[in-house]
Chains A and B, each alone.
Chain A
């Protein structure tokens, strides 16, 4: 089952890379994996956009609470559910069908979409 084991290996590499991002460990084995270029952790950010604070940073919570590959985004300190696509683009729960290049762009798109409304925390799934 070479295909299966390769797939598992890639999945493990992705998890290792995400874990490395979350805990700022160096992980040479993971960064050497073929899929690593798609899983480099994005740049952290912290800015005020249209009057609202948006932040992006390596995630601190349990891995199963988000799908940003170890990266979390907040709008006025409320977590915004974000997800990284296989091609490296990003979406969020308030703009789910329109990928943008970076988590910062996803946060800005969320602020645009919210028109000042408060974000509600998403349930842990």
Chain B
């Protein structure tokens, strides 16, 4: 059974195996297909039109399935690997072990944002940025430069206490848990973390930075925590909503899975805290 663990508690061997599996997906070309898919949805999801991956109720189940696909790809390389999560409300410093050279590497240099240490640094030769929106082919980060603070635990708690899953108009203007977690309204959790990391993480091709998966694994965990706190609240909307994925409708690009199929994470994995 897959157990997703806090990245802060991974052993040296677990870090090494995770990194090796990610690098192998990159080498084989499978990694970049995930970046391409994400950017296609980023460009295509609009507040007044069809929206599936972002700015909509299906933001959470869409990313849950997207991460499952990625985790299965990792496990096809090394069956012992699972996705770790990054609790950025606790590990909130550029000096956290997450950013050490034996794991993701650190922030970028000031001149051009280039990450210069760790397994994903351009200088290591294993991490060309090929799915990109500009001419730069190296991984970039500016930890804490574009927004000073990551969300605090108190801010996380304030969002988890929102009892309604999502609300009309089911987009970036919505009140409710989903949009406050996504960050288009309120204290801003998910979006702010993308901005805090900077570099490719702040763009539509954000999965170019492997921290994307650890960030979203924690967002996904917060959905599970919200369900536990609000047992009588369910996914909304439940039917008949144009441009929006209702509870029982299938989601692109897979077309074989509905939000209803993804509500219970324990069908796929558990967390180290479950």
Contacts and interface: CB of A to CB of B under 8 A. Distances in A.
Contacts of A14: 48
A125 B45 CA distance: 11
A11 B195 contact: no
A120 B134 contact: yes
Contact of A120 (B40, B48, B132): B132
A74 interface: no
B194 A94 contact: no
Interface residues of A, number: 30
Interface stretch (A24-32, A45-53, A82-90): A82-90
B77 interface: no
Interface string B165-208: 00001011100000000011000001110110000001111100
Contacts of A98: 146-147, 191, 195, 202
Interface in A23-75: 67
B43 A120 contact: no
Contact of B43 (A4, A8, A93, A99): A93
Contacts of A96: 42, 194, 202-204, 206
B125 to A, nearest CB: 21
B48 A86 contact: yes
A122 B136 contact: no
B6 interface: no
A113 B202 contact: yes
Q: Which of A4, A8, A94, A118 has the most CB of B within 10 A?
A: A94
A97 B43 CA distance: 12
Contacts of B147: 98
Nearest to B44: A125
A81 interface: yes
A86 B172 contact: yes
A4 B42 CA distance: 26
A7 B242 contact: yes
Contact of A115 (B39, B42, B44, B112): B112
Contact of B203 (A84, A86, A94): A94
B113 interface: yes
Contact of A94 (B113, B133, B169): B133
Contact of A67 (B46, B191, B205): B46
A95 interface: yes
A29 to B, nearest CB: 18
Contact of A11 (B48, B134, B136): B48
Q: Which of A10, A87, A99, A113 has the most CB of B within 10 A?
A: A113
B242 A94 contact: no
24 contacts: A1-B240, A8-B242, A11-B48, A14-B48, A81-B133, A85-B184, A93-B42, A93-B203, A94-B202, A95-B202, A96-B42, A96-B202, A96-B206, A97-B202, A98-B147, A98-B195, A113-B203, A114-B134, A115-B112, A118-B134, A120-B132, A122-B43, A122-B133, A125-B40
The 6 closest A-B pairs by CB, nearest first: A86-B173, A97-B191, A97-B194, A86-B47, A118-B135, A93-B204
Given A85-B55, A97-B183, A115-B112, 11 more contacts: A7-B242, A67-B46, A86-B47, A86-B172, A94-B203, A97-B191, A97-B192, A98-B202, A113-B203, A114-B134, A119-B134
Interface of A: 1, 4, 7-8, 10-11, 14, 67, 81, 83-87, 93-99, 113-115, 117-120, 122, 125
